């Protein structure tokens, strides 16, 4: 059987290439809102971050998402993103896959 190619994406925080399933997509909509995109299919400008809670804190302190998207990102979004990433990482460790 033929081996399937693993889709890779670049983490905007660490600049490392990682498998897409180990990352979460952040999208800037046409209205200029920043949202978490768990499906990876929402329309808009997307960026990927790894499932590392410490990386989210780094992104917040260095304002990486602001630089990536060119708009101000609310502190509440970073809190929401941190909680989502922390939950998904725990889920990945328990069940071995992300949904």
Q: What pLDDT is recorded for position 95?
A: 86
What are the extents of the domains in the chain?
A: 8-95
Is the model's pLDDT at 67 over the cut of 80?
A: yes
Predicted structure pTM score: 0.87
- Asked if residue 12 lies in contact with residue 49, where contact means CB atoms within 8 angstroms, the answer is yes
Q: For 40-59, what is each residue's pLDDT tens digit?
A: 899 999 999 999 999 999 99
Q: For 7-41, what is each residue's pLDDT tens digit?
A: 999 999 999 999 998 899 999 999 999 999 999 89
CATH, domain range 8-95? 3.30.1230.10
DSSP string, the chain: -PPPPPPEEEBTTT--EEEGGGEEEEEE-TTS-EEEESSS--SSEEEEEES-HHHHHHHHHHTHHHHHHSS---HHHHHHHHHHHHHHHHHHHHHSS--
Residue whose structure tokens are 């768990």: 38
């Amino acid at each position: 059987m033929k081996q399937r190619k693993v889709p890779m994406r670049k983490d905007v925080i660490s600049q490392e290439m990682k498998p897409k399933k180990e990352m979460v997509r952040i999208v800037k909509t046409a209205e200029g809102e920043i949202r978490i995109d768990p499906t990876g299919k929402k329309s808009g400008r997307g960026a990927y971050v790894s499932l590392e809670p410490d990386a989210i804190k780094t992104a917040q302190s260095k304002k990486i998402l602001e630089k990536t998207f060119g708009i101000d990102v609310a502190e509440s979004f970073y809190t929401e993103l941190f909680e989502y990433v922390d939950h998904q990482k725990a889920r990945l460790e328990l069940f071995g896959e992300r949904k």
